[in-house]
Copies of this chain bind each other. A is one copy, B any other.
Amino acid sequence: MADIESFVTELRQFVAEREWSQFHNAKNLSMLLASEVGELVAEYRWVPDVSADQHSRTEPARARIEDEIGDVAIALLLLCDRIGVDPLDAASRKLAKTRERYPVEKARGKAERPEE
């Protein structure tokens, strides 16, 4: 697995060469992320949930899913870099909150519910 920081350096160069920084404010990048996630969801919309893992590992779907995940990761990293958020730190802090919100004893075996 590569290193986030060196990949972000590559992303910055990619954007700078194309003079795309002018389009990459945080609002626009949140929309980029939403549209890329929409394409990832499209990949799974007609797949039964019990076959979804297998589908993800079988060509030609595999290659498309990797492409979509790549787009989502790029959009997320562009946004994080733009506004100075470390995605792993943010995830780590959020996981700590989620641990408290769903204590093991109460959450075991139960899907989170939107109303909780």
On A, residues with C-beta under 8 Å from B are 1-5, 7, 10-11, 14, 17-20, 22-23, 25-28, 30-50, 52-53, 55-57, 60, 64-67, 69-74, 76-77, 79-80, 82-95, 97-99, 102, 104, 107-109, 111-115
Contact = CB atoms under 8 A, between A and B. Distances in A.
Given A18-B107, A71-B94, 16 more contacts: A1-B89, A2-B92, A20-B107, A26-B44, A26-B52, A31-B34, A31-B45, A34-B37, A53-B83, A56-B85, A57-B83, A65-B83, A66-B93, A69-B76, A70-B95, A74-B98
Contacts of A52: 25-28
A93 B71 CA distance: 10
Given A53-B82, A53-B83, A42 B114 contact: yes
Return the 4 tightest CB-CB contacts between A and B, nearest first. A38-B38, A70-B94, A46-B111, A27-B52
Which of A55, A82, A111 has the most C-beta atoms of chain B within 10 angstroms of its own C-beta?
A111
Copies of this subunit: 4
B70 A90 contact: yes
B26 A55 contact: yes
Contacts of A56: 26, 82-83, 85
